[in-house]
């Protein structure tokens, strides 16, 4: 009896730990950032709307939190808590199986433990199946008691409190909210308008002097030598002019960074070092996610230079970055045409040597 009791409690502690860790991990490194990322990367691809996803994500994480607590108490444990936990794990497993089959692989992070503990879909399915087996074992191990005397209000209170706590730690932002445009142009080497450029000296000429000037209209060079070959792409709208007005003019380097991202800092420093030793380096502009924006000065200090930047909210940032993309994101643009897009820290990660070769290529050697 003692051994059976100990095994029962061992299973309950393991399941509780898994669900509590799953709920807390989805709030790392900060609640709003983590939940918004979960919505964009997990819920949007499933077809959830922008209006419904914020509510569903918080309710789902709240239920995970509640189940992690409820599995440790005795009220309706066998009739509601264990079956409900098994059902939730089955739904997760079916979804992950479909995703793995549709995507034809086992890559990426399933999001079960957020960005705290990245886990592939297959690893998550195995984890869920083991948890289901343990719960089924626990179900048949527990005695059949008269649950009519149990306290249903305890279940409902814990569940409701868990869900409400998610709405409190990560309040939903209205979709219609106007985000302030924050642009800083503190680097004189990166931004220089016509006012800051030295103007040619204008020397007044007397009228009598003008009359003595002989105007020559003869052609000095043959027509063949006057032909100019323009070796650059046609102008194209990149979609980023709302952030930087001159982004579609000339060669540009557009960076999408998170202020607290170490990989983003390293990429920015590599760009700075390359810019210092490269003539006519494509002008650098940065779009920052509004996550730990107070770290931006520290970010630029590490990078070794400051660049024009704009801060946008979490969900709009992920949309600008693109579906399936991750930070750091770095684009090479020429007259608004995109010729290279690095993102994430895996196979398509930023490669400073490849980027150096890319920006040195003439137009006729570039391929979109």
Burial class (CB in 10 A: 0-12, 13-18, 19+), 154: middle
Write phi, then psi, for 56 (nearest 5 degrees).
-65, -45
Residue 147 pLDDT? 59
Residue 111 pLDDT? 78
Q: What is the pTM of this model?
A: 0.74
Q: Where are the alpha helices (DSSP H) in the chain?
A: 2-25, 31-38, 53-70, 82-103, 121-141, 152-169, 207-211, 223-226, 262-276, 296-303, 314-321, 352-359
N-to-C CA span, the chain: 70
CB 315 within 8 A of CB 40: yes
User: Which of 155, 16, 140, 161 has its CA nearest to residue 74?
Assistant: 155
**Residues facing 287 on adjacent strands:** 256, 310
Q: How many CB atoms lie within 10 A of CB 327?
A: 20
Residue 60 pLDDT? 95
The full set of domains in the chain, from first to last, is: 2-169 (no CATH), 183-194+210-365 (3.40.30.10)
Q: How far apart are CA 55 and CA 123, in angstroms?
A: 27
Distance of CA 249 to the CA centre of its chain: 26
Residue 193 pLDDT? 36
251-257 and 283-289: which strand pairing? parallel
Residue 230 pLDDT? 55
Averaged pLDDT in 10-residue chunks for the chain of 368 residues:
87 96 90 91 87 94 96 93 95 86 68 82 92 95 74 94 95 60 43 36 41 44 47 91 95 96 96 94 96 94 96 94 92 96 93 95 82
């Amino acid at each position: 009896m003692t051994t059976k009791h100990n095994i029962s409690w061992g299973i309950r502690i393991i399941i509780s730990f898994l669900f509590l860790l799953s709920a807390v991990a989805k709030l790392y490194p900060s609640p709003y950032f983590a939940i918004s990322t979960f919505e964009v990367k997990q819920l949007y691809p499933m077809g959830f709307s922008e209006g419904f996803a914020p509510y569903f994500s918080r309710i789902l994480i709240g239920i995970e939190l509640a189940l992690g607590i409820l599995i440790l108490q005795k009220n309706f444990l066998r009739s509601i808590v264990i079956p409900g936990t098994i059902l939730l794990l089955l739904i997760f497993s079916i979804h992950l199986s479909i995703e793995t089959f549709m995507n034809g692989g086992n890559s990426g992070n399933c999001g079960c433990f957020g960005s705290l503990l990245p886990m592939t879909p297959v690893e998550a399915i195995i984890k869920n199946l083991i948890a289901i087996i343990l719960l089924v074992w626990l179900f048949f191990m527990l005695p059949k008691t008269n649950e009519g005397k149990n306290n249903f209000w305890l279940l409902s209170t814990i569940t409701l409190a868990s869900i409400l706590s998610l709405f409190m730690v990560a309040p939903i932002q209205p979709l219609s909210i106007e985000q302030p445009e924050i642009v800083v142009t503190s680097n004189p080497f990166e931004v220089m308008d016509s006012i800051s450029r030295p103007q040619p000296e204008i020397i007044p000429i007397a009228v009598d002097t003008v009359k003595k000037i002989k105007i020559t209209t003869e052609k000095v060079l043959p027509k063949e030598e006057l032909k100019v070959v323009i070796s650059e792409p046609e102008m194209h709208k990149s979609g980023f002019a709302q952030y930087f007005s001159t982004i579609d003019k000339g060669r540009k380097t557009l960076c999408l960074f998170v202020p607290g991202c170490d990989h983003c800092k390293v990429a920015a420093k590599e760009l700075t070092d390359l810019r210092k030793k490269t003539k006519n380096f494509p002008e650098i502009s940065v779009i920052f996610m509004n996550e730990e924006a107070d770290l931006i000065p520290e970010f630029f200090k590490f990078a070794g230079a400051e660049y024009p930047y704009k801060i946008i909210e979490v969900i709009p940032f992920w949309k600008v970055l693109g579906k399936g993309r991750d930070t750091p994101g770095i684009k090479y643009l020429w007259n608004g045409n995109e010729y290279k897009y690095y993102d994430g820290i895996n196979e398509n990660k930023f490669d400073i040597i490849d980027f150096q070769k890319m920006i040195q290529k003439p137009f006729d050697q570039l391929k979109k």
